[in-house]
Amino acid sequence: MAFSKNLAGVSIHGEGLSDNDVLNIEKAIGIIFPSDYKEFLKTANGCEGMFNGKNYAILWSGGDLLRYNKEYQVDEFLEGMLLIGSDGGGEAFAFDKVNEMAIVHVPFVGMERALAVKISDSFSGFLDLLCNKVLYE
């Protein structure tokens, strides 16, 4: 999966992770990431910026996932979800583990499952969406 076209112009957080690094993160969180998200972590390991001039997003590094999900008390407020980043404002992006790892956005304030809105069936589709459609009009 080639992410270079979707990541053009955004700031990459660091070197990609190794297969072993990704596996250790999956074990620590208790999840198996979709293959396209694993590929993203091995390519970019997080990024931040404007995606094709359409949407600003911060996608957290693999090492930050566990910490941020604990800090935001995701298990308490968004059971069955894993936050993976934000729009830099009031919305978080998450995998919905209950709904086949679809990508949703949900507000940080008033964080609850009922407010989650599905925006993509896959992580690669989510990146395409960030690059090609304004999420909030």
Can you give the pTM of this predicted structure?
A: 0.93
Give the pLDDT confidence of 28-79 residue by residue, as tens digits: 999 999 999 999 999 989 999 999 888 999 999 999 999 999 999 999 999 9
Rounded Cα gap, residues 75 and 69, in angstroms = 8
Domains of the chain: 4-132 (3.40.1580.10)
